[in-house]
Amino acid sequence: MTDVEPDWQMVKSEVLSGALKRGAAVARVGDPDALAAIAAPGQAPVDLLPQVRSIIVLGGSAPRAGEWHSPRPEVMETVGTADRMAALGSAVARRIEDELGYYALNVPTATDQDDKPFLDFTAAAVISGAGSPSLAGPVLHPEHGFLYFTVILTSLPLPADEPLDAPACPAPSCVEMYDERGLTPCTDVCNIDDGGCLGGQIQEGLVIGRRYDSNRCRSRVYHYWIPGYQAVLDRVLSEPDAERRKMMLYGSYFTRTMWSITYSNVSQGQCFECMRVCPVGAEQRALR
């Protein structure tokens, strides 16, 4: 008697529907070979899991509508939800191994050597159709807009999804604004030619020539967390005045930095202004 080949499409449907029931807004499957073809050295899926045959990409846990609409940017600085997706990814990986008997690795969202990611989550989301790149940088889903992503590598041979037929960015209103002013909402709020981080052009409805100042963006996004801690500690160790050192260590900035590391919810994104004004998925944030 021979083993019956599983219905992999059905297995895929069960795994993804389970993730959606547990809180994911988007669940897709990508082809590891497609990601390997564009991956940086050492960041191919097979470098993390030699048996990999599928990439599961889950997106969700975006900030709540009330947080987007708060006039206090400190709210967005201190209410992080990215960890929820990492926890969901771990749960899905455990289910694959415990119930289905295949390897599954929830890719760490932290950085590897030289402060590089273990895997390019943006590329994984794009090749699986979980979203498309934006002028601002983050992957955007056509319906939900900005999402946090987690990626699971597995030896399950699941059928892969295709990338999106049409990009989510630029939105029609962004094209209209660019035609009138040469700016979009995100490049207007953070204009690279006026001390901001973002720039670029739109031609025939497509983003071209994107400009991005990563150093400026990093200094704003990572206000606290580990880079902030390192920056303050370097200044403290170089400060000869004992009273000034004490002020620096016990001041509000260093205190918030310590909170961000200890509790990790103030971790990897504190600016959000380009996404706050983005029209993609804005209807999800428009409540009463």
Mean pLDDT of 213-229: 73
Query: Percentages helix, strand, coil for the chain, rounded to the nearest 5?
Result: 45, 15, 40
In this prediction, what percent of the chain has a pLDDT beyond 70? 91
> DSSP characters for 220-237?
HHTSSHHHHHHHHHHHHH
SS3 state of residue 27: strand
Q: Which amino acid is at 14?
A: E
The per-residue pLDDT for range 68-88, each reduced to its tens digit, is 888 887 777 666 677 789 999
- Dist. CA 93–CA 52, nearest whole Å: 13
Q: What is the pLDDT of residues 40-73, one digit of tens each?
A: 998 999 999 999 999 999 999 888 889 888 888 7
Are the beta carbons of 43 and 108 closer than 8 angstroms? Answer: no
Closest C-alpha among 11, 9, 8 to residue 92: 11
Confidence at residue 1, expressed as pLDDT on a 0 to 100 scale:
44
Q: Which pLDDT value is given to residue 153?
A: 98
List pLDDT tens digits, range 125-162. 999 999 999 999 999 999 999 999 999 999 999 999 99
CA 157 distance to own-chain centroid: 25
- The residue extents of the domains of the chain are 8-154, 225-263
Can the peptide bond before residue 279 be classed as cis, meaning omega within 30 degrees of 0? no
* Residue 117 CA to its chain's centroid (Å): 11
pLDDT, mean over the chain: 89
